[in-house]
Amino acid sequence: MLNFRVVMRCSGMSALLACALMVGCSDAPDEETRGSRGSWGVRELPVVTAPVERAPLIDSIKSVGTARARQSVTLYPESSGFVTFAKLAPDTPVLKGETLLKLDDRDQALAVRQAEVELAEAKRTLTRYFSLNASEANIPQSTIDTAQSNVDLAEIRLAQGKVELSRRQVTAPFSGRIGITDVEIGDRVDTSTVITTLDDRSVLLVDFTVPESFIGKIVMDLEVQARQWESPDDNTSGTIVAVDSRVDSATRAFRARAAIDNSVDNLRPGMAFEIDASIEKGEYLSVPELSVQWGADGPYVWSTEGDRAMRSPVEMVRRVDGRMLIRGELSEGERVILEGIQSVRPGMKIKDINAVKATAHSSKSEKADRG
């Protein structure tokens, strides 16, 4: 009798357990309910997003060169003699054609005066013959021809005398500034004596080398930045004014020349400069570097489509200042996920915290305006 009751009690408990399991199974969410909650049972995954932007890809070329004056010359006298005049104070500005030095020119000046007198006499003789012929004096043609030749020769001697006289002085071939000299008044100089140097440093020229891969990109009138080698914080701008027509086969580079404005005269020939040329190589999509992920098929980002996350493959171009230039099927203005990436799955419902904050801020502003 006792055994029968135990069996019956156990049978009743089994029935209750079975009913409980059936009830539990009937309470499980259906497929539609699971989908509305999203993957992993999360109703809305909070994320932080950032917009897709467009940015240029810029290549920078840095090269070092030495500056020289736009025009520079070492001055020598054209003849020998004693110095009677000198305007050679170092760093003095002079104008084109200005006399810098004179040699004793007394003999040359006398030769010019003599040639002038001879020319005047030859012209008077020729004029007299013409006058006599006009009055039927019948001057032989050979005599007139000789008189004409005397005039021509006198003109040549005068011109030669003036050339010799001009060689007794040194003039500035262009406007610029005088360099240091050792020549003084009273010194005897000859054609091998260095009088001084003259520099037009209103513009400095800097030659530098560029890798051959930049042929066609370093072009005339391209703006560059010039940084003094000994003073990196002192920058100035320059312009490309010449590009070489050939590549050095040993260095695989070519020469370019930049002109730097020095109208304020604070730079000097011989200074070293680092030339920085920036070249734009096209425009690309730009996203924060943190948004780029790696998978078995390569890099990708999580973009947003409405309130859903979408996996978008991309091709990386270059990292620039914490952002990544990419190619991909994205558009400027779309948003990519920055934070919460580890929990994102394709098609998952997300809540953009940036958008929520922006909406809240807008509501507060509207209330404040109404108040």
Could you tell me which of 214, 238, 287, 241 has the C-alpha nearest to residue 60?
214
pLDDT of residue 135: 77
Token code pair at residue 363: 């509501």
Cα separation, 301 vs 291, in Å, equals 6
pLDDT of residue 133: 80
CB under 8 Å to 284, separation ≥6 — which residues? 54, 55, 56, 57, 317, 325, 326, 327
Cα separation, 344 vs 289, in Å, equals 17
pLDDT of residue 58: 87
Write out pLDDT tens, residues 277-295: 988 888 999 999 999 999 9
Write out pLDDT tens, residues 127-152: 998 888 877 778 888 999 999 999 99
Range of weakest confidence among 26-35, 108-117, 182-191: 26-35
Average pLDDT score over residue span 27-42: 41
Average pLDDT score over residue span 249-257: 95
Write out pLDDT tens, residues 53-90: 999 988 888 999 999 999 999 999 999 999 999 999 99
pLDDT of residue 35: 36
pLDDT of residue 32: 35
Contact in structure between 289 and 301 (CB atoms under 8 Å): no
pLDDT of residue 370: 52
Given pLDDT bands bounded at 50, 70 and 90, which one contains residue 231? confident
Residue 17 φ/ψ, nearest 5 degrees:
-65, -40
User: Mind listing the domains of the chain with CATH numbers?
Assistant: 38-57+283-370 (2.40.420.20), 61-69+201-281 (2.40.30.170), 77-103+168-194 (2.40.50.100), 105-167 (1.10.287.470)
Residue 33 φ/ψ, nearest 5 degrees:
-65, -40
Task: Note the pTM of the prediction, 2 decimals.
Answer: 0.64
Q: Which residue has the higher pLDDT, 24 or 357?
A: 357
Mean pLDDT in the chain? 85
Give percent of the chain with pLDDT exceeding 70.
84
Q: How many CB atoms lie within 10 A of CB 352?
A: 19
Q: Which residue has the higher pLDDT, 6 or 356?
A: 356
